[in-house]
Amino acid sequence: MMNQKDPDNPIIRFYGSEHPEMFEIERRCMDRDGMVIRHLDRELPDGLVLDVGAGNGFTAIRLCSATRKVIALEPDAGMIDRTVPMMWVKGIAQALPFEESTFDAAYATWAFFFADVPDIDKGLNELNRVVKKGGKLIIVDNAGEDEFSWLAGKSMGSNPDWWRDRGFEQTLIHTSFRFDSLEEANRLLRFYFGDEASSKNSKTEVGYRVVAYSTSVRKR
């Protein structure tokens, strides 16, 4: 969720390996009803699928099936959870360690593909290279204009125009962060956004809008 962008570092620093206890709250409470995973499950084909910036594999393992194999690509060794029984590959979105047209589809959930990342186009070119012609690409990010952004005190949304200009269509998903207690909610909100956010919040369920951008790979 919270990322720090450094133009000289190919890996966007994520807090998950330094604060696993906070990431545990985030992953358990964000989209508890699994609406994002259901959307991906519906939209992704069978075959071989790539998850870019897979974190601890939470999403990837839930999308594996008898007919769909998901490969989890993650650059941060501290995020890779080898107890999650799937194929892990260490690497970055800007230089995918796969041959041309390896995958039937690829997706990323809140990872690397943020419009203000300097080399995002390198990552998109790489997706277009490693996915077969006609294969689906799906990028999941924040939609903004929700209770979550209000608590943050700033816009948390991605830029739909940026994606539309590159041929992506968007689907909005209305979900929430649902916490076990107010104490837990405010612990995560304070960690993300500081004391003001946690003092503004009085709810255990915080509305959260997510957007899935999707397109198909075109090759000559």
Ligand X SMILES: C[S@@+](CC[C@H](N)C(=O)[O-])C[C@H]1O[C@@H](n2cnc3c(N)ncnc32)[C@H](O)[C@@H]1O
Give the footprint of ligand X on this chain (CB under 6 A): 1, 10-12, 14, 16, 27, 52-55, 58-59, 74-76, 79, 92-94, 109-112
Q: DSSP string covering 34-94, please?
A: -HHHHHHHHHS-SEEEEEET-TTSHHHHHH--SSEEEEEE-S-TTT--TTS-SEEE--BTT
Name the closest residue to ligand X (Cβ): 55
- Name which of 155, 136, 112 is nearest 13 in CA terms: 112
CB of 154 to ligand X, least distance (A): 17
Beta strand residue intervals within 83-181, DSSP E? 87-89, 103-109, 131-142, 169-178
Is residue 98 within 8 Å of residue 130, measured between CB atoms? yes
Task: Return the H-helix or E-strand segment holding 25.
Answer: helix 20-29
CB of 202 to ligand X, least distance (A): 26
Q: Which is nearer to ligand X, 58 or 168 (CB)?
A: 58
CA 16, CA 61: separation in Å to the nearest integer? 18
CB of 216 to ligand X, least distance (A): 22
Q: Which is nearer to ligand X, 102 or 200 (CB)?
A: 102
Q: Which is nearer to ligand X, 12 or 106 (CB)?
A: 12
CB of 46 to ligand X, least distance (A): 21
CB of 71 to ligand X, least distance (A): 13
Helix (H, G, I), strand (E, B) or coil at 179: coil
CB of 58 to ligand X, least distance (A): 5
Tokens read off for 7:
């133009």
Helix (H, G, I), strand (E, B) or coil at 152: helix
Q: Which is nearer to ligand X, 138 or 197 (CB)?
A: 138
Q: Which is nearer to ligand X, 24 or 100 (CB)?
A: 24
Q: Which is nearer to ligand X, 98 or 112 (CB)?
A: 112
Task: Return the H-helix or E-strand segment holding 164.
Answer: helix 160-165
